Structure 1
Amino acid sequence: MMEELAQAEAAVAVCVDAAPWALGEHDLVAALDATHRLEQRLAAVKLALVRELDGRDTATAQGASSTAVWLRDRLRLTVPAARRLIDLAAALDAGPPGVRAALADGDISVEQARVIGDAVGTVHAAAGAEAADKAVRVLVEWAGQFEPTLLRKLGTRILDHVAPEVAETTARSALEAEARRADRDRHVTLSELPDGRLRLTGSLDAEAAGLLRAAIDPLTAPSGPDDPRSPGQRRHDALADICRLALRTNELPEHGGEPAQVVVTTGFDALARQFDAGTLDTGLRLTPETVRRLACDAAILPAVLGGAGQVLDVGRQRRLITGPLRRALVLRDGGCAFPGCDRPPRWCDAHHIRHWADGGNTSLANSVLLCAHHHRHLHHGDWAVRLGGDGHPEFVPPAWLDPDRLPRRNQYHRRT
């Protein structure tokens, strides 16, 4: 073996020094196919060697705590990668010989071998050795057409092809086992970061995942062709929109004897000057711009304190755009009024065109509906909003976007 491997290494060294640019397109593709096939065949040899070394306990004899640790140091792998190598070597050794043979012939890749091994193990446990051998042949044939991810998905239905008489019962058992695992493992973790943000991690069961997808997917589309947000940022904003909608329903259970709400504490003078930050009732700090934006809408109840800390206003109703006034606003704007946005009214905040802290009154003439994204955009950006001569909102773009600063309107919600 050592002599043959030395010859193979020398042959590969010659290929490394060859010039691919000299090959025609047909030969270039053929060379790629041959290289890939050789890579898989060498992987089969490597896995056989790993299996033999692990069986002999060579790692312990050489002072390592395990074969995985020994491979890490010997081949400069990560321990997880070394363990996957050992597990696959053991699976190929114990499984049907057809998988190992297919890898050795270069007909399947290492990842496909891992997928086929997992699927065949399931078939063997459910329907016996004969069905497992048949599954190997079917899956190796499919491996010539499908990459590992799709092959794994197809492999979940392999019993339908090789043992249909047990497929339904096995699938039901597997589904029930998966449901039990999902129920056991379900969790959501909120980890507070040093700067006050939250890291959200977790695992949802199938039902909760479906509910989240149904709620969040319609809100993750870009708000327009110039939406600068990444997909992850759009999902973040969609989750925040869902929370706002839930708070608006008034159907959440009471928390500490109070309806579910967000309370922002800030000094009135500081808020009016846009100078100071605010504090949530959880203790987290907010920028002045965020405080002023949150103060616009009835779903958020600001607690405004005087200089000595006395309560001046907690959710002052005459400032909040609620009841008949909000219904009139919905009737007029039809949804988010920002140009190009199709968000419906239930996803929108009521924004004071002239902020209440600057003396703006609570009236239809001083209000506009904005979705959460465009509400933030208006507070932090260079756009301006006003009512046109017909009483409908129009938005003036910044000079860098339109030197003429021609007003724009939303066309999605027009009734005429």
Structure 2
Amino acid sequence: MDQSRTPSAVHPLLACAATVTEAVTEARMRPVELAGTEVKARALVDLTTAIGQLEALRLEVIAASGDVAHDAGARSVASWLAPTTRMEHRAAHRLECLATAIAGTGATWPRVGAALAAGELTREQAETIVRTLDDLADAAYTEAGNDGVAVEAEVLARAEQHLVAEGAHFAPTALRRLGEHVLEVVCPETYDQTQRRLLEGAEARAAAATRLTLHRRGDGTADLRARIPEIYATRLETHLHAFTAPRTRPAEGGTVPRRRRGDKALGEAFCAFLERLDPTVLPDHGGSATRVTVTIGLDTLLSGIGHATLADGTPVSAGHARRLACTAGILPAVLGGDSQVLDLGRTRRLFSSAQHHALALAHPTCRTRGCTVPAAWCEAHHETPWARGGRTDLTDGRLLCFHHHQRAHDPAYRTTRHPDGSLRFHRRL
């Protein structure tokens, strides 16, 4: 008779879970804050190791629980586990995939599972190693006529052993980078050919997975979701970092400005990046250079009261439209009475590259007091608004960072001009 189904018998798996629960409850009865520094430091390390070992045990159970899913009529263990434990299905599926790879009698990478069970790896490290080894294993299958060299099982075993050993010294991100060159260590004679095939395969998968969706939320914002090849993500990140404005020095008055969240800073940088795109280098659209057109009435432009409209019908405030009029690539269509076009973007409204450089030489940072954003990241602003006859010359130009350029055209802020040409903004009460 199977003792695991006997009510009076307690299976070691259930006893383990009960013991862990009891131990955790007992440990929390005493406030953690009262523990000494040495105790907390050791506990952090020991608990991390213990969690890894518990993860290994759970993965072993998942790998052996096909009968649980079968009895419940579920498609997979993950399909049963997710609703039962209130886990996201994606997370449960990821656990089942990892369990299949490193746990049970049919494990593909048993050394990884053994290291996790011994507390030598964390689950994140194990997942990283498995992904790397799976990519290498994919290269072992060559099509007829392919001049690549298959990755032998012995080489894969050496790669697994090497990455498991490196797990004692490196975090998951560093392990991933090491994994990209593991063949150079364990099998240098075939590294070049195999690495080429791996890169070509990764590039092909990335190209096939490339997606971008744009959803307008109806509240003045839009959700942009994209999956692009990593090489382009790196280029975009580099461009956006050029538009972020780190403020490391205290502003005037000795106060340190509040730092923006990383995603907030990148979001603002992306907006600035789009505004600074040179329309002359973009493909023609409808027989002319690609531009964004802002339609606004003359009275609205002069008064700042009212709104303008983008080409697709999106409304924007008059202040925002006036700021856009300072930016290259934005074409303001100014309408008079009966919607007659009075002006369609005079080219002289835009400061030239030479003028921008001259302004930067005179003032190497944003002209707002206390702002240290470099001039190279700033936008040229008309001191006398272009809509009111401002001239595009050096005496009428000010370099402002993206943030303060928005404030200059925001009616909610008052601008104070100092004798030295610097500006300061105050929120209207």
TM, length-normalised to structure 2: 0.77
Give the corresponding residue for 2:70.
Answer: 60
Give the corresponding residue for 2:335.
Answer: 305
Give the corresponding residue for 2:16.
Answer: 8
1:76 Cα deviation (Å)? 2.7
Distance across 1 between alignment mates of 2:111 and 2:198? 25
Residues 33-70 of structure 1 show CA distances to partners (whole Å, capped at 9, x for unaligned) of 4444333333333222222221x3x3233233432221
Give the one of 415, 420, 426 matched to 1:383. 415
**Is the 1:95–1:121 contact (alpha carbons within 8 Å) kept by the matching residues of 2?**
no
Give the corresponding residue for 1:97.
Answer: 110
Residues 319-364 of structure 1 show CA distances to partners (whole Å, capped at 9, x for unaligned) of x25579957974884565334445446952231x233545656665
Give the corresponding residue for 1:181.
Answer: 205
Unpaired segments of 5 or more residues in structure 1?
A: 401-416
Q: 1:6 to 1:164 in 2, by over 3 A?
A: same
Residues 163-215 of structure 1 show CA distances to partners (whole Å, capped at 9, x for unaligned) of 22222222111011112222333344333332354433323335533443443
Distance across 2 between alignment mates of 1:363 and 1:228? 34
Is the counterpart of residue 111 in structure 1 residue 135 in structure 2? no
1:275 Cα deviation (Å)? 1.4
Q: 1:258 to 1:384 in 2, by over 3 A?
A: farther
- Equivalenced residue count is 391
Is the counterpart of residue 50 in structure 1 residue 62 in structure 2? yes
Distance across 2 between alignment mates of 1:223 and 1:28? 35
SS of residue in 1 equivalent to 2:381: strand
Residues 12-35 of structure 1 show CA distances to partners (whole Å, capped at 9, x for unaligned) of 314521436576554554444444
SS of residue in 2 equivalent to 1:194: coil
**Is the 2:129–2:163 contact (alpha carbons within 8 Å) kept by the matching residues of 1?**
yes
Give the corresponding residue for 2:278.
Answer: 247
1:279 Cα deviation (Å)? 0.6
1:155 Cα deviation (Å)? 2.3
SS of residue in 2 equivalent to 1:87: helix
Is the counterpart of residue 238 in structure 1 residue 239 in structure 2? no
Distance across 1 between alignment mates of 2:108 and 2:424? 69
Give the one of 421, 425, 428 matched to 1:393. 421
Distance across 1 between alignment mates of 2:379 and 2:323? 13
Give the corresponding residue for 1:71.
Answer: 81
SS of residue in 2 equivalent to 1:383: strand
Give the one of 95, 119, 125 matched to 1:85. 95
**Is the 1:71–1:77 contact (alpha carbons within 8 Å) kept by the matching residues of 2?**
yes
Give the corresponding residue for 2:294.
Answer: 264
Give the corresponding residue for 2:312.
Answer: 282
**Is the 2:326–2:380 contact (alpha carbons within 8 Å) kept by the matching residues of 1?**
yes
Q: 1:31 to 1:11 in 2, by over 3 A?
A: farther
1:107 Cα deviation (Å)? 2.4
Q: Which amino acid aligns with 1:302?
A: P
Q: 1:274 to 1:47 in 2, by over 3 A?
A: same
1:146 Cα deviation (Å)? 2.1
Unpaired segments of 5 or more residues in structure 2?
A: 5-9, 141-149, 250-256
SS of residue in 1 equivalent to 2:282: coil
Q: Which amino acid aligns with 2:324?
A: L
